[in-house]
Amino acid sequence: MSVDVAATVGSDRVTVAEVDARESALRGGVSAHALPKSGTREARQLRRWITQVLVAERVVAAEARALAECDAHAPSEADLLPGEVARLEIGSVAASTLSQPAGRAVFAHVTASVRVSAAHVRDYHRRNPLRFADPPASGRWQRPPAATDLGEVGPVIAAHLLAAARRREYRRWLDARCAEVVVLAHGYEHPGDPRQPDNTHRH
């Protein structure tokens, strides 16, 4: 692999210049103060993460072209990632691919067959009987809330579990697809790869 290439995605290349450009954009953004100083171990890990984002974007873009998915029918980003918990569940790399309509169309296609059984809904309600209890008008509980009725909150629980299951399936698909078609250059390994020298996670 040429020294100016950070990764290949099938026959496509992600160049070091692209990594540089994405890093420069981040360092010029509103969160620049939170980024590590250039030249440090943490900064090299940032560049590895950027490479992961770039290759994931290429993988998803290729899938969108192969499927001829229509961006106009893609769900919104807020529908797929309604909050910080959802972003943490799916991971920052997978979440980044959903910023564009084509990525969200791929998400919809990849996760279209995901289902949640009634048994899973009942089990969730048994373990979390207060999860969807309505808060009091004052916003403060005066007494412990009563357990919710499954008949009332079942559809909400089903939607909650289905959304989480779809995020897990999309992440699984993306990880598997990247493993199939992505080759990373030396210095641009996955941030969590224990073989690269800047990985600080040790057992």
**Domains of the chain by range and CATH?**
5-184 (1.10.4030)
| Tokens describing residue 18 | 């692209």
Give the whole-angstrom CA distance, residue 203 versus residue 150.
Answer: 43
CB atoms within 10 A of CB 93: 22
Helical (H) or strand (E) element with 76: none
- In tens, the pLDDT along 7-47 reads 999 999 999 999 999 999 999 999 999 999 999 999 999 99
User: In the 3-class helix/strand/coil scheme, how is 105-170 assigned residue by residue?
Assistant: HHHHHHCCCCCCCHHHHHHHHHHCCCCCCCCCCCCCCCCCCCCCCHHHHHHHHHHHHHHHHHHHHH
Task: Say which DSSP state 14 is in.
Answer: E
| pLDDT for the residue 129 | 87
| pLDDT for the residue 3 | 58
Inter-residue contact 79 to 73 (CB < 8 Å): no
Q: Give this prediction's pTM.
A: 0.87
Inter-residue contact 7 to 14 (CB < 8 Å): yes
Q: Which of 172, 174, 178, 166 is nearest to 108 (CA)?
A: 166
| pLDDT for the residue 96 | 96
Weakly modelled stretches of the chain, pLDDT under 50:
203
Q: In what order do the strands lie in the sheet with 12-15?
A: 12-15, 5-9, 182-184
> What is the SS3 assignment for 200?
coil
| pLDDT for the residue 179 | 96
| pLDDT for the residue 152 | 87
| pLDDT for the residue 203 | 42
| pLDDT for the residue 11 | 93
